[in-house]
Structure 1
Amino acid sequence: MVKKLILVVVFTVLFVNTSKAQNKASLEAINTVWTKFYKAFETLDYTLMADIHAKELIRVSGGKRILDYEAYIKGYEASFKNSKDNGQTSNISLRFFERINNNTTASERGIYKLVRNKGTEKEQAYYGQFHVLFKKIDNDWKIIMDYDSSESGTIGEDDYKKAFAIDDFDNFLN
């Protein structure tokens, strides 16, 4: 009976330790994906968007439509081309209220802020809530599901400020 109890305790300790795989290094690795995401908007380069998303992507936009990888990337190709042709700029930033990951899968939720034509008379800011799932594929983190919504226009600067900065890892470490 004592051996069974010891065995249960050992397995429990091992299970708890493996379930706490989240650490600063894993969050930093995921942030390399977000760096490319930011750069895609800054440079209006849809190929960066293609690179960070898995071919099996499921994209849900505002609760109104579901796209696959090909349609989603083609949409960015057209949107970024249109922005370039019209001299528009785009800057996006993310803040987080949830970041969960292990060695192969991650879930991140937060608020995005998209600023078009920053620093000009035509500057406009858009906000929304996002939920992204990542999978490690061939040792690289890839986005496999991306959902965002403005929640009928109820997400704003206050929500954005309440969430944590992309490099504020302490709030998400085990």
Structure 2
Amino acid sequence: MHKNILFSVIFLLVSVQLSAAASKKCFPSIQVQNDSTRIAELDRYWERLNKTVIEGDFEGNKDCFHKDAVIVFASGNNKTSVPISTALEGWKKGFKDTREGKIKVNIELRFSQRIGNETTAHETGIFVYTSTDTYTGNTARFIIPFEMLLVKRNNKWYAMMEYQKPFATQKEWDALQ
């Protein structure tokens, strides 16, 4: 009887040590980059992305996304998920019209959460997209909550997934000041 108890205790101790070793192997301690450095890099990414939209730079915008990126649209009736290539094809005319001065675009961005390390990031917030037809003066304004997953490859950030959620209110936008 004592041998069984001793064997069980030894087995339990060995199991715990093996489990701890396996856990360290699967989940090694991660050296997290200084948040301010990562956020500064990501701020430059967002400036670049927004500039491509404001200037109608289709190729520059395409370069901000990983080639395998996915866009999720959850606003309105057409809830869908598409490859970035499909989304870009749908956005192409808007980029052309912007570049040619037919429409004027502005983007404002505010964050509610920024999580990441030196090579991955999950950014959450709201952006306001405003588009004005330069001929008619008609303006459309959309307040869109979003999530973005990004990866850093060769010292450059790329979006892997953009999730545009259902429209937000002005009050929700103002709350992120």
The equivalent residue for 1:138 is: 154
Change (3 A) 1:77 1:121: closer
Q: Give me the CA root mean square deviation.
A: 2.6
| 1:133 and 1:143 in contact (8 A); partners too | yes
Structure 1 residue 106 displacement after superposition: 0.2
1:79 positional shift:
2.3
> Is the Cα–Cα contact under 8 Å of residues 22 and 101 in structure 1 kept in the other structure?
no
The higher radius of gyration belongs to 2
Q: Assess if the C-alpha contact under 8 Å between 2:50 and 2:107 holds in 1.
A: yes
Tell me the secondary structure at the aligned position of residue 44 of structure 2. helix
| Equivalent AA in structure 1 for residue 176 of structure 2 | A
Higher RCO (C-alpha under 8 Å, 6+ residues apart): 1
Aligned to 2:169: 156
- Please tell me the residue identity of whatever aligns with 1:127: I
Give the Cα–Cα distance (whole angstroms) in 2 for the partners of residues 82 and 124 of structure 1: 15
Gapped regions of structure 1 (runs ≥ 5):
5-10, 165-174
* 2:59 match: 47
Task: Give the one of 50, 58, 74 matched to 1:38.
Answer: 50
User: Separation in 2 of the partners of 1:65 and 1:75?
Assistant: 13
Distance verdict in 2 for CA 1:82–1:141, change over 3 Å: same
**CA offsets 1:92-112 (integer angstroms, 9 cap, x no match):** 111010000101100000011
Contact 2:56 2:97 in 1 (8 A): no
Q: How many residues align?
A: 148
Question: Aligned letter for 2:96?
Answer: K
- Does 1:97 pair with 2:112? yes
Runs of 4+ in structure 1 deviating by more than 6 angstroms, as ranges, are: none
Contact between 2:106 and 2:130, CA under 8 Å: does it hold in 1?
yes
Local SS of the residue matching 2:53 = helix
Q: 3-state DSSP class of the match of 2:81?
A: strand
Percentage identity across paired residues of the two chains:
22
How much does 1:123 deviate?
2.6
Instruction: Quote the offset at 1:135 in angstroms.
Output: 0.5
Matches within 5 A, 1:79-118: 79-83=94-98, 87-117=102-132
Question: CA, structure 1 residues 111+118, in 2 after alignment: closer, same or farther (shift >3 Å)?
Answer: farther
For residues 35-71 of structure 1, give each alpha carbon's deviation from its aligned partner in whole angstroms, at most 9, with x where no partner exists: 1111112111111211110001011112611111211
The residue type paired with residue 163 of structure 1 is: L
Structure 2: unaligned runs, 5 residues or longer: 1-16, 18-23
